[in-house]
A and B are shown apart, each in its own frame.
Chain A
């Protein structure tokens, strides 16, 4: 039985695409046949972060409009053979995402893939609504600051009102909270919301906390999802997220400020 997972947040710049790339990669690295779809029609970032931007010929919108076959648009990831990418179009607008068209593509993908990861655009407009409409589960990506939490709250409300599951009266979308760009030092200094603050407001189960890390930017620039970087705290945190998603118990890590050694304190980082 395949699962459709939407990665969403409402607010932009919180780490949706980074999360989609690493989460999909993590599932595929564990042997699950996975496809990740870029719903950000008009902007197209996922292919950059996945390092396949030069291999895009056809895209999601071409497939929806019958201009290309699904097989022509799917790009196989260069690092893991179980992972495919369905890129967004840069030349169309989001209105090209028809509910029926998206539904048909997802149904076809269900036959072939275990996990279908939908990378939502920011905002609450059509692209975001289409990304979540058919979802079975959701990773709600939130930064520990008030506007991000507010937007996630908004998205959670829309999810319960406007998804296919809600309209069909089925069980609601299973939601997971993923806190990203977490900086323990700033939380300790009271400059950032704590995990408890965020959880109290959003009231959905926490699946992981990804610390802010330079390796995320480096990974994006290199086009290699950060989960491949086993030395970085972010990469390890994403690995934990995938493991928990698949039912493993793993304690939360990287929540406390790093103890700086004498030399580090003397010379800064």
Chain B
């Protein structure tokens, strides 16, 4: 990632250089996709039965997997969290955090050494449980794939994930994603990635001719001023701090 991040960066911001001895630690951000276990009831027996049924389907994926427990459906319910976590660990799940619970549930979770996460669930996942054993483990977000041109006046939105575009996005069209946008054809309209606030989202394109690009609400308009090294070329757009960086894609041949 260092390759493409430099370039424009260095010209505009100056070099970032480290002085002094080699550091003992370094904090770096990274994004992990974690399965979220939605609890629709607090009874440890029922949850265990439902989990066993799920894991019996041979989902090796969950063997030793870190999971986040979503409590939003059982807010205000007294949950024997310690008991529940113990049962989950015996099923070889590794609970790492909770989210969506009430203050008491969060306090209990902290006491038990779990993190309290503040990401919110996409609205469709908040649907009411229909059956009692619906303690389902959520799927990783799917990318939305669009194979037709996105034309003037059209808007395409990938909710909860990435957007993959296999045909051009024309001027006057708008492509929007909660995750990243990958355009394998000319990107001529407006592209907005990470619209729910994901600052790690990026925009990638084989041919950048966009009118506007945005990541997590930080946008840049291009009138006639797309930099020469990216105009009509493979490029990516990402956030560094509050600043939107537009840079050629590494490995893209320079003409």
Which residues of A approach B to under 8 Å, CB–CB? 150-151, 153-154, 156-158, 160-161, 201, 203
Contact = CB atoms under 8 A, between A and B. Distances in A.
B172 A153 contact: yes
A112 to B, nearest CB: 35
15 contacts: A150-B152, A153-B151, A153-B171, A153-B172, A153-B173, A154-B152, A154-B172, A157-B151, A157-B152, A157-B154, A160-B148, A201-B168, A201-B171, A203-B149, A203-B167
Contacts of B151: 153-154, 156-157
Nearest to A150: B152
B170 interface: yes
Contacts of A158: 153
Interface residues of B, number: 14
A154 B174 CA distance: 12
A153 B148 contact: no
Interface string B136-170: 00000000000011111110000000000001101
A154 B173 CA distance: 9
B152 A153 contact: yes
B148 A150 contact: no
A241 B153 CA distance: 29
Nearest to A204: B149
A150 B168 contact: no
Interface of B: 148-154, 167-168, 170-173, 188
Nearest to B185: A203
A214 B84 CA distance: 84
Contact of A203 (B152, B168, B173): B168
B228 to A, nearest CB: 20
Contacts of A160: 148
Contacts of A154: 151-153, 172
Contacts of B153: 153-154, 157-158
B244 to A, nearest CB: 26
B249 to A, nearest CB: 22
Contact of A150 (B149, B154, B167, B171): B171
A258 B151 CA distance: 35
A161 B173 CA distance: 14
Interface centre among B152, B154, B172, B173 (most CB of A within 10 A): B152
B148 A201 contact: no
Which 7 pairs, one residue from A and one from B, show the smallest C-beta to C-beta distance?
A157-B151, A153-B152, A154-B152, A154-B153, A157-B154, A153-B151, A150-B152
Given A201-B170, A201-B171, 4 more contacts: A153-B172, A157-B154, A161-B154, A201-B188
Nearest to B172: A150
B22 to A, nearest CB: 53
B165 to A, nearest CB: 13
B151 to A, nearest CB: 4
Given A201-B170, A203-B168, A151 B152 contact: yes
Nearest to B171: A150
B19 to A, nearest CB: 51
A254 to B, nearest CB: 27
A153 B167 CA distance: 14
Contacts of A203: 149, 167-168
A138 to B, nearest CB: 14
A161 B154 CA distance: 10
Interface centre among B149, B150, B171 (most CB of A within 10 A): B149
Contacts of B171: 150, 153, 201
A18 to B, nearest CB: 24
Contacts of A151: 152
A185 B91 CA distance: 77
Nearest to A146: B171
A151 B170 CA distance: 11
A258 to B, nearest CB: 32
A237 B105 CA distance: 76
Contacts of B188: 201
A161 to B, nearest CB: 8
A76 to B, nearest CB: 39
A200 to B, nearest CB: 8
A158 B168 CA distance: 17
A203 to B, nearest CB: 6
Interface centre among A151, A154, A160 (most CB of B within 10 A): A154
Nearest to B148: A160
Contacts of B170: 153, 201
Interface centre among A151, A153, A201, A203 (most CB of B within 10 A): A153
A4 to B, nearest CB: 22
